Amino acid sequence: MSYSFTPVAALRDVTLRDGLQLTGKMLSTETKIRTVRELIRLGVEEIELGSMARADLVPTMANTLEVAQGLTPEELERCWIWVATPGHVAKAVKAGIRNFQYCLSVSEAHNQANIGRSTEASLDALPEAIRYAQEAGGRIQLCLATSFTCPFEGQVSPERVLEIANDPRAEGTCDIVICDTLGQAVPAQVSSLISQVRETSPTRRIVFHGHDTWGLGVANTLAAISAGATLVDGALGGLGGCPFAPGASGNTSSEDILFATQPSWLTPTNFAGLVELSASLLGELGEPNRSKSAQGARSKAEAFEWVIPSETIS
């Protein structure tokens, strides 16, 4: 039996960037390339490939450019990379990358901790980053971390989010990413803010990036989709968190988002492949699997089509 879900949003899997930021182990370049290719093979629409963050601050991102150079242009067309400066964009362009997620924090304190400068300084640099991306024939997103709460300042004003969303320095960005960085938002807040961004800021794709710290990751993601988000972020097994945001835990699980939304490409076979890929990566990293859907897929309720038959479980 199949169901039709409307509205529909695509999934961007962020395992290889946000998912790896707090892990104690690093994945090899070869493992990351295989992961990108397997995600694409299984049907995942978009992927966050890695980050241009300094390797001494986020060691697990050190081989991001090597991963990009190992992928084909067609594969890279599905991939995004995290950047925070025009220099990041210029360096990534040389590695063949064309899709950029330019990140800044709505809250001043988190932008200082995460980026090392004020929010205004990050906005001042944005037009140059946009120019570098456009000259390379690429796309660049405006990503707003701490759109709901900040670990240092507490609640973040929706008015400040909307002010940045409408800032003329962001002209030329193709998407806007609204981030529940700490996973402290509730569905009503998410729905309200996404709706306001959709109704009052320039027309572009709205992306929701959520964390599951307080157990509302899937609920918030569904609220964002209903309010107008057309791309949502998740990580395999709920892996991840921000090293510069005390209290942040893993991302909303990709498996849980997919099971909740059941896009047309998702079959029980593809879902089983994602569960197996997740188990393999998390096992290599020594990290727990927080996905409830992955747990369900390995249950004994085998009359349910989404449960993986016991004889095929590795």
pLDDT per residue as tens digits for the range 208-243: 999 999 999 999 999 999 999 999 999 999 998 766
Q: How many angstroms separate the CA atoms of 143 and 4, rounded?
A: 30
What is the pLDDT at residue 12?
Answer: 98
Residue 275 lies in a domain: no
pLDDT at 247: 59
- Looking at the domain assignment, is residue 288 inside a domain? no
Residue 180 sits in a domain of what CATH number?
Answer: 3.20.20.70
Indicate the pTM of the whole model. 0.95
How many domains, in total, are found in the chain? 1
Q: Which residues contact 74 (CB under 8 A, 6 or more apart)?
A: none
pLDDT at 245: 58
CA angle 115, 207, 203 (to 5 degrees): 105
Domain annotation covers residue 296: no
- CB atoms under 10 Å from CB of 107, counted, come to 26
Domain range holding 123?
A: 10-267
d(CA 180, CA 94): 31
Q: pLDDT of 18-67, one tens digit each?
A: 999 888 899 999 999 999 999 999 999 999 999 999 998 899 999 999 99
Q: Using the Cα atoms of residue 278, residue 280, residue 284 and residue 286 in order, give the sign of their dihedral.
A: positive
- Give the pLDDT confidence score for residue 3 in this predicted structure: 52
Residue 153 domain-assigned (yes or no): yes
Q: Are strands 205-210 and 175-180 parallel, antiparallel or unpaired?
A: parallel
Q: Which residues of the chain have a pLDDT value below 70?
A: 1-7, 242-248, 311-314
- 3-state SS class at 242: coil
